[in-house]
């Protein structure tokens, strides 16, 4: 009987209103619902505007700035101060850049203009509008209830003209155009289904088109988020999160290409792949023993089937333990890698992020990880242990720079053997016996990262970036071990900006015509969401 999760394998074909409020800030305010009402004070800035807004329980602080003439950032927080300005997704350079603006004001609004857009903050009721220089709608708050905080989270409502259409959010199913649909962003080990949601990745970015003009909206929030493109309301779309900052960017085109380029400016571009990664990659669950993989490789060449890579899934490992090789089924592993290379076939091996919880057995990943205090904690401070493929397992705390460095070093032996690429799977993270097949939300991560204040964070905040930081640790480790070669890292789960560290595929699917159709539109939306090196299982 198979464990509680199934897997299939990659066969790659070759503004934004930002209401910045961490859950503790919002929860501290009373009552539980805070609705932004009217402008009570404003101050023009060199690069934007600072606004104070009256609400039922006090005031809200708003800061809107222009990073470029075509990119506007808005941050809003209950109280007099904004939360920490740090991001896992947006590069520090773009986030710290800004341009000079021209302040504007009249009895009805305050705001500013750049050479590309105009931002207006209507006074009463308070409403944020982003317009082109001809006064045309780009991305405007809804006429009523534009933004509110409730129970530690927030919701923002935007106007939705009748001709507006939406694309993006990564690997979501449904129709290519997101209008009339609603989505949840929460990385989950869940096979592709027509009506299934959420899936493996969380990319809270979409591209909107209306009146021949395009814009993008990126909500930089790692908590569980949602987007409703008119499923509940015919006149407006909405988005929100259950916690964390409301911090989003509006990127003006006016063409779709310019929007996607603006998003890439913020979150980064993919690395150049190794040349072989552009070819056909052959994978299944699973090739074992070693002789089976040799037969497959020989047949690919004998039948003159173009192929550049073959994959090994968990069965090549000793008792499904990452960074091991089964000495019985794969007794000549270095020789296997060498023989495949002679046939111009590159080997990609899986390295799931869970580490078998086995002490005193000489299992180096656990022994060194435990000694270095590299694993995620329970709320009581003990190591969290959950069941995955190797049985009881612990999970690296990838929000620590030292943990990522440790993880990257684990690849040294595989690199020495000549393995070409690595596949990070199960990194939503998937936990067979956990709540919702993942970790408890009150598990503790330690943020020890340049650019961030050192602090602890619950898994509710970190969950959606675990896969991305796992991917990052692998990429950076391989680059250090092989500085003259382009790393190949394939990840199943990721977050916005994950395209900087590797590539992805759409996850577990079935060999049906309907799934082929779903896969095609998922690939297109992933491309619009910044991930250009992506494939799906087409077997």
Residue 530: partners with Cβ closer than 8 Å, 6 or more residues away? 203, 205, 260, 263, 264, 267, 268, 496, 497, 499
Q: What are phi and psi of 136, to 5 degrees?
A: -80, 145
List the beta strands (DSSP E) in 405-454: 421-424, 444-447
Q: What are phi and psi of 459, to 5 degrees?
A: -65, -25
Q: Which two tokens stand for residue 185?
A: 């962003």
Smallest Cα–Cα separation from 250: which of 98, 396, 370, 119? 119
Smallest Cα–Cα separation from 131: which of 115, 119, 142, 143? 119
The catalytic position among 141, 220, 428, 536 is: 428
The catalytic position among 326, 471, 508, 537 is: 508
Distance between CA atoms of 29 and 32, rounded to whole angstroms? 7
Query: Is 508 a catalytic site residue?
Result: yes
Distance between CA atoms of 503 and 176, rounded to whole angstroms? 21
Strand bridging mode 503-505 / 494-495: unpaired
The catalytic position among 220, 308, 352, 425 is: 425
Q: For 443, what's the count of Cα atoms within 13 Å in the CB-facing half-sphere?
A: 25
Smallest Cα–Cα separation from 142: which of 123, 128, 124, 132? 128
Q: Are 390 and 351 in contact (CB under 8 A)?
A: no
Q: Which two tokens stand for residue 448?
A: 């020890």
3-state secondary structure of 29: coil
Instruction: Provide DSSP, 441-457.
Output: TT-EEEEB-TTS--EEE
Q: Are 286 and 19 in contact (CB under 8 A)?
A: no
The 10 Å Cβ neighbour count of residue 411 is 22
**Sheet containing 236-241: order of strands:** 33-35, 147-150, 153-159, 236-241, 225-228, 182-185
Distance between CA atoms of 493 and 88, rounded to whole angstroms? 15
Strand bridging mode 71-78 / 58-68: antiparallel
The 10 Å Cβ neighbour count of residue 359 is 9
Q: Which two tokens stand for residue 505?
A: 């595929």
Query: Is 428 a catalytic site residue?
Result: yes
Instruction: Provide DSSP, 203-240.
Output: --EEEEEETTEEEEEEE---S-EEEESSSS-SSEEEEE
**Which active-site residues does the annotation give?**
425, 428, 508
């Amino acid at each position: 009987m198979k464990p509680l999760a199934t897997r299939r394998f990659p066969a790659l074909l070759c503004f934004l209103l930002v209401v910045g409020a961490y859950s503790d800030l919002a929860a501290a305010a009373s009552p539980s619902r805070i609705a932004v009402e009217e402008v009570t004070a404003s101050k023009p800035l060199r690069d934007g505007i600072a606004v104070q807004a009256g609400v039922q329980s006090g005031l809200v602080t708003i800061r809107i700035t222009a990073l470029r003439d075509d990119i506007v950032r808005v941050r809003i927080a209950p109280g007099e101060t904004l939360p920490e300005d740090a991001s896992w997704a947006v590069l520090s350079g773009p986030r710290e850049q800004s341009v000079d603006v021209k302040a504007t004001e009249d009895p009805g609004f305050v705001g500013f203009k750049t050479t590309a857009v105009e931002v207006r903050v209507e006074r009463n009721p308070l409403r944020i509008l982003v317009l082109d220089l001809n006064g045309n709608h780009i991305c405007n708050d809804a006429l009523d209830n534009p933004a509110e905080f409730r129970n530690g989270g927030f919701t923002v409502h935007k106007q939705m003209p009748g001709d507006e259409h939406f694309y993006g959010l990564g690997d979501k199913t449904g129709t290519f155009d997101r209008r009339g649909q609603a989505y949840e962003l929460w990385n989950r080990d869940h096979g592709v289904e027509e009506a299934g949601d959420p899936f493996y990745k969380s990319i809270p970015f979409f591209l909107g088109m209306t009146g021949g003009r395009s814009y993008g909206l990126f909500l930089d929030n790692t908590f569980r988020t949602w987007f409703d493109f008119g499923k509940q309301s015919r006149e407006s779309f909405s988005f929100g999160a259950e916690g964390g900052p409301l911090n989003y960017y509006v990127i003006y085109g006016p063409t779709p290409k310019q929007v996607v380029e603006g998003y890439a400016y913020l979150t980064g571009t993919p690395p150049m792949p190794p040349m072989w990664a552009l070819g056909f990659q052959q994978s299944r669950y699973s090739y074992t023993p070693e002789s089976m993989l040799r037969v497959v490789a020989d047949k690919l060449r004998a039948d003159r089937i173009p192929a550049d890579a073959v994959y090994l899934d968990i069965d090549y490992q000793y008792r499904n333990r990452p960074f091991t090789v089964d000495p019985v089924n794969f007794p000549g592993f270095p020789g296997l890698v060498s023989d495949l290379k002679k046939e111009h076939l590159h080997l990609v091996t899986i390295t799931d992020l869970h580490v078998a919880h086995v002490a005193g057995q000489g299992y180096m990943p656990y022994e060194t990880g435990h000694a270095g205090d590299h694993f995620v904690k329970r709320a009581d401070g003990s190591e969290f242990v959950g069941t995955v493929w190797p049985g009881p397992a612990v999970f690296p705390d990838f929000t620590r720079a030292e943990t990522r460095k440790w993880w990257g070093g684990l690849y040294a032996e595989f690199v020495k053997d000549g393995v070409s690429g690595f596949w990070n799977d199960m990194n939503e993270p998937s936990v067979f016996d956990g709540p919702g097949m993942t970790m408890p939300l009150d598990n503790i991560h330690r943020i020890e990262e340049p650019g961030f204040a050192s602090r602890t964070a619950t898994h509710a905040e970190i969950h959606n970036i675990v896969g991305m930081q796992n991917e990052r640790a692998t990429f950076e480790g391989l680059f250090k071990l092989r500085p003259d070669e382009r790393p190949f890292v394939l990840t199943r789960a990721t977050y916005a900006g994950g395209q900087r560290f590797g590539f992805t595929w759409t996850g577990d699917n079935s060999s049906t015509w309907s799934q082929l159709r779903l896969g095609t539109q998922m690939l297109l939306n992933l491309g619009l969401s910044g991930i250009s090196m992506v494939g799906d299982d087409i077997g």
